[in-house]
Amino acid sequence: MKFIHTADIHWGMVPDSDRPWGKKREQAIRLTFQAIIEDARDSRADLLLISGDLFHRQPLARDLKEVNYLFSTIPGTRVVIIAGNHDRIRKSSALLSFSWCPNVTFLMDETMTSVYFEDLNTEVYGFSYHTTEITEDRTAGFFVSASRRTRILMLHGGDAKHLPFDKNALAALPFSYIALGHIHKPAVLLENRMAYPGSPEPLDLTETGPHGYLTGEIDDATGHVTSLKFKAAAQAQYIPLVVSVTPATTNAELSQLIADEIKKRGASNIYRFRIRGMRDPDTEFDPELLAGQWNISEILDETEPQYDFHALFADHPSDMIGFYIQALMKENMSPVEKKALYYGIHALLMTKDERS
């Protein structure tokens, strides 16, 4: 039996909404989810498991219709969904009165329920969020009797406020596979038994690295997962990079260095740069100018002006510059102390230049 496991799609979210590429990120979420549906069709997957947060917020009827249409294009694949903390079931939720196409099962109860697919001899268990948080382990004490059925458990959570669970206790339960959601980075907790697929698209700067979903196969005779593979699908990645400069580096040269790094990795990705090294005290890097032509969410200037403090002190032994250096300069200075020294000296030198 073939299955696809995804979660945390966050349909309806606009990552980086305050950026020029925000709308593209919203579209990427939808297109990547559509690609997962197409993979389910092309690979003839028997099951598509969506372990919570299919939607970023309470879905409107139009959202449900759009997603349901996609599910209708894979009638041979059983789709099983649970709600996560973002798309939790509310009393006024459009989910409660929505009619899904025949191949979709939404396990909407707040307590554990299951659906059995006789032709697959497979039973899928899960429950949905009806509150923002679930702080207790609702899997504690959960018992499943022995059976020849293939059994799959779907859960959304894994931190203190969202269904904390005991991995070892879950591993002792007779499930062929435990399909997790909520954590946005892919992670296998137990080989071929328990995993997070991560969000198909990265949703903010912290979600670096590859994003996609999981594909797997379960042996019908043994009920064991024989294959579990991560499939990269994201249209863009958030990439943090460090660019080193010297006192000779100009704004134009720095701009070229950044452009070269982006061209190596792809202009569709989103970047966060840290500029490090020593710079000419008279040079001020302009992050806004540098970020204008690329998908750059942030440029942090962590450079330090290259002052020769010993030479400065020799030139100013008895004025404010010399006194300031003498008062602040010491070995093993902290970053804050260094900044205070650099900024103070820069201000004093600028004041002196203006008066001269």
pLDDT digits (tens, 9 = 90+) for 195-217: 999 999 999 999 999 999 999 99
Tokens of 59: 């879905």
Tokens of 61: 């009827």
Checking if the pLDDT of 120 tops 80, the result is yes
The hierarchical CATH code for the domain 2-232 is 3.60.21.10
Phi and psi of 110, rounded to 5°?
-80, -20
Place of tokens 């990552």: 15
181, 198, 270, 322 from 202: Cα distances, Å:
14, 9, 10, 51
Please tell me the predicted confidence (pLDDT) of residue 185: 97
* Residue limits of CATH 3.60.21.10 in the chain: 2-232
Q: What is the DSSP letter of 189?
A: E
Taking residues 269-274, report their average pLDDT.
94
Q: Distance between the two ends of the chain, CA-based, in angstroms?
A: 82
Residue 301 CB partners (closer than 8 Å, separation 6+): 275, 285, 287
Please tell me the predicted confidence (pLDDT) of residue 352: 57
Please tell me the predicted confidence (pLDDT) of residue 18: 92
Checking if the pLDDT of 84 tops 60, the result is yes
Strand ranges, E, within 197-295:
212-218, 225-232, 238-245, 270-279
Please tell me the predicted confidence (pLDDT) of residue 355: 47
